[in-house]
A and B are shown apart, each in its own frame.
Chain A
Amino acid sequence: MAAESGEHAGIEVEGLVRVFKNGPRAVDGIDLRVAPGEIYGFLGPNGAGKSTTVLMLTTLLPPTEGTARVAGFDIVQEGPKVRSAIGAALQEAALDPLLSGREHMRLQTALHGIPKPEREQRGDELLARVGLSQAADRKVGGYSGGMKRRLDLALALAHRPRILFLDEPTTGLDIQSRTALWEEVAQLAGDGVTVFLTTQYLEEADALANRVGIIDRGRIVAEGTPAALKAEIGRPTVEAIPHEATDHERMREVLGRFGELAGGPPRGAAVRLAGGEAQLAEVVRALDAEGIAIEHLQLHAPSLDDVFLTKTGRSLEGAEAAEEEAEEEAAAEAVGRA
């Protein structure tokens, strides 16, 4: 069952570093605080250091440097107390395909020391909560991705943790399953559970998180509420696609007069309007004056991707491919750490 309350029921991290053998500094001195009952979104591309941070905060990987307290307990000195206060659904639902959902719940509740008479009731209650009562006796090998993720969440909640770590809980899920999981996470936060959620989906962080930390190459490059971060950037983006491909370069030149060019759609270009939304009409007039026929034109409000772009010089999507290799290296070392 959940441990006694520490002096701070949230998460406090100072100067956390993790260096893998012969590898990069996967986490390079991060500081953060997550208040009790808050949903904290940890946003970044693959390989940015999100999962490594979660492994350290859940006591599964010792930090190289720095300190962290989770639920008021030190992650290095008080590992068992931390584990009893937290629940975690780590990247890729780690389930046994040969066991049923109910058998998973039975195992999890027993290993957490929940008294025998309560185990079945707790398991049934959680399976119902995540909508798996009907499938409870089916082997997990036959579950869909969304069902596995929901079971993973139910298992993480078995011992009523006060802090929940969700490492990319919706990666690979269809939009329906993703929305269902979002609702469940929001409900948990409503019940007072602190949620530390890593994600590479901007809309997920935007929709769920009270505050967002943006991590890139092991460092937090921006932190705040989604609204505050977007307001900080403050500039909307116009993206356009020319009717004729041969006009692409001329269109870029015209857009460039109105602000900083950004990664645009395929065959098109985008500009972050230095003068705000009011410049849209001027952009249209300038394109028309140059005789450039436009197939598509769209105005975007600032997004977390714009925040990422501003802070790192790269778009979130573009950063993923570049950092994929680093992540694979770190993951391989974490798996083979024996």
Chain B
Amino acid sequence: MSFLFAGYLAVWTIIFLYLVYLARSQKQVNARLQEISDKLRASSDQ
């Protein structure tokens, strides 16, 4: 039973870690888009 638990734990841990990585990548993309939006706003103000 302990090996089965270890197996399932490993599967969900790896998937969870990948989801964390995806969330961090998404944050970076959002920050980049925000930067572009700020630049566009600044240029339209000028």
A binds B: no
Interface residues of B (CB under 8 A from A): none
